[in-house]
Structure 1
């Protein structure tokens, strides 16, 4: 019987495959979740992945997913992502709350300055460095070059009920910040590479500048 009907099923993981067995989607709990793959290589991950759905294309590469994590002491999030071809998430619709109090609900667009496989290779090489200081320096260099996944555009709202648009450069450094506060006050800030505000709209009054 090729078609069966069930009223209820308890299952830890479901693999959706084509007739030839090629994996197209995984619905899984956290323990059995697929780690993801790109260019035929499994993506190494520390601490596993959350429960949800992971999507795959004809090449067998991960192309996005719907994942969620509750309050585990590390914060919580719900996220629907779409990946760049042979790359990492380029579009994310998300709700995030970190253990440090950070909050974001909205849409973000990300960029990659190196391929996912090259980034993974660099990260794995850094892990093998014997000195902690050397590892931190190498990670800082990657971050400065924008070799991690960098956010270019975020549209959303914050915990303080503000609505905002954030535009960043290729290294992920915010350069324009547009916001409307909960009380209705609008503002536009232009920032330099160091994150210092160089110009604002509306301009600060003379009294504000003296403070």
Structure 2
């Protein structure tokens, strides 16, 4: 009997102890996340969502596995593979840019993008590298034009309605058609080092055709080059090395 009473007493003490610990944890959690002076020396998470008081998502900091797929017109995009980093969302909860990064012995990269409202990126600071032994690198600043007549939401709905396999010829043909109409964005400027080793300023017309290059070539000569609308070199002015 004494043994049973002692066991009952120990269970009672354990129950009280667990209850006190739970209360302490709840109080600590409330202070940590809602207190005016909440702070923590270190926080380890796989994903962190920053939201407004009404729940509107404004920023996601995440690893690769749990990265947000993006959102447009108030709807999340289909699940897709994205690198670790930060994704930014505007007042409406639509993606409006982000900072992504990755890297291993086969390749590395980091991209900071600023998106046009209701569309894809129009400004981007980027670095990319491929190859383990013979490395190919490109890094610099890019600008795009985006159509107001064909938003990202319309693009997503368009391809959803077609139900095309992403690896099919029909899909590639439709991408080419939309690109020719300027609906997929047109790269207008690159300032930096290109994959071919040229470092300089590269400008394109509103159809995405290269028209002006100002760069340093492989012989360390300054070069100014103009091109016609078909991409043929119209004039070249090269200095000495």
Contact 1:54 1:65 in 2 (8 A): yes
Contact 2:122 2:145 in 1 (8 A): yes
Q: Equivalent of 2:173, from 119, 137, 141? A: 137
Q: Equivalent of 1:146, from 153, 172, 182? A: 182
Write the mapping of 1:50-65 to structure 2, written as runs, cut at 5 A.
Answer: 50-65=83-98
**Normalization by structure 1: what TM-score?**
0.82
Q: What residue is the counterpart of 2:103 in the other structure?
A: 70
Inter-CA distance 133–61: structure 2 relative to 1 (3 Å threshold): closer
Q: What residue is the counterpart of 1:208 in the other structure?
A: none
Q: Distance in 1 between matches of 2:174 and 2:201?
A: 31
- Cα distance per residue 1:38-86 (max 9 Å; x no partner): 221223354x11111111111111111111011375x321111111111
Contact 1:89 1:110 in 2 (8 A): yes
How much does 1:168 deviate? Answer: 1.1
Q: Distance in 2 between matches of 1:122 and 1:50?
A: 26
Q: What residue is the counterpart of 1:87 in the other structure?
A: 119
Write the mapping of 1:167-206 to structure 2, written as runs, cut at 5 A.
Answer: 167-181=203-217, 183-202=219-238
Task: Please state which structure has a larger fraction of its residues in helix.
Answer: 2
Q: Distance in 1 between matches of 2:137 and 2:151?
A: 29
Q: Distance in 2 between matches of 1:53 and 1:126?
A: 31
Q: Distance in 1 between matches of 2:232 and 2:127?
A: 28
Structure 1 unpaired stretches of 5+: 204-211
Q: What residue is the counterpart of 2:69 in the other structure?
A: 35
Matched, 1:8 2:42: yes
Q: Distance in 2 between matches of 1:120 and 1:51?
A: 23
**Normalization by structure 2: what TM-score?**
0.73
Count residues with an aligned counterpart: 201
| Root-mean-square deviation (Å) | 2.7
